[in-house]
Amino acid sequence: MIKKIKRFPKFLKEVKEELKKVNWSKKEEVMEATLLVVVIAGMLTLYIAGIDLGLSKMVQFLFQK
């Protein structure tokens, strides 16, 4: 356990060095990707809601007296 504690500062230093190597995306790219995800999620939500509504109406029609 003590050995792990002594190695921790070295680990943090290595993490810091690796983070410098990361190719971070530009703000515009992140915003564009986020918008795309939101739009696709909205479209998928509407599609699934439509299927759900259609199936609900079909079941109601089949089981009405």
Q: Is the pLDDT of residue 65 over 80?
A: no
User: Is the model's pTM score more than 0.75?
Assistant: no
Tell me what pLDDT residue 39 has: 99
Instruction: Please state, in angstroms and as integers, the Cα–Cα distance from residue 60 to each residue in 14, 34, 46, 48, following that order.
Output: 63, 39, 21, 18
Q: Is the pLDDT of residue 1 over 90?
A: no
| pLDDT tens for each residue of 13-59 | 999 999 999 999 999 999 999 999 999 999 999 999 999 999 999 99
Provide the CA 19 distance to its chain's centre, in angstroms: 22
